[in-house]
Amino acid sequence: MKLFTRIAAFMLLFVPLVASAQFRDLDTAMSNLERGFGSGDVDAIVSGIGSGDQVMLQFPGLADKSGFFGRDQAAYLLDALFNKVKPSGFERVSAKGVRAEGQYQITARWTINGGPRDLYITLKQKDGKWVVASAKSGGQ
């Protein structure tokens, strides 16, 4: 029984790590997304992707790959993207909740070295927190 208790205690150490891979509220999500896409801070964005989740990333003409990616793959793709396009600004244009779907949709103006682009981000609720479901850029 003592061994079981130790194993259970050890496993509980990892619970906060999984839970922290989500935004606790919409203000935190917006702040992280602004910092992430506005200055190229990959960690700020990836902190909103759950460890077992898949996020749709689509940046036509900017990134070689698009599709659904896990947290580590998304970090790799975003890092390569930000090294290429050098983000310098993020301005929220609109944001609206879609209560029936448990989603929050954000449209922003994203400034990169190739000129401004529209950016569309969808957050979804998961266990009372917000996670990044998708991030897509429009053309110039």
pLDDT interval class at 100 (50, 70, 90): confident
CATH of the domain at 122: 3.10.450.50
What is d(CA 3, CA 9) in angstroms, rounded to the nearest whole number? 10
The CA–CA distances, whole Å, from 109 to 117, 125, 126, 130, 135 equal 6, 24, 26, 21, 13
Whether residue 120 contacts residue 138, with contact meaning beta carbons closer than 8 Å, is answered with: yes
Task: Output the pTM of the full model.
Answer: 0.82
pLDDT of residue 140: 57
Domain count along the chain = 1
Residue 60 DSSP symbol: T
pLDDT of residue 2: 55
What is d(CA 39, CA 23) in angstroms, rounded to the nearest whole number? 19
13 pLDDT above the threshold of 60: no
Give the domain extent around 63: 2-137
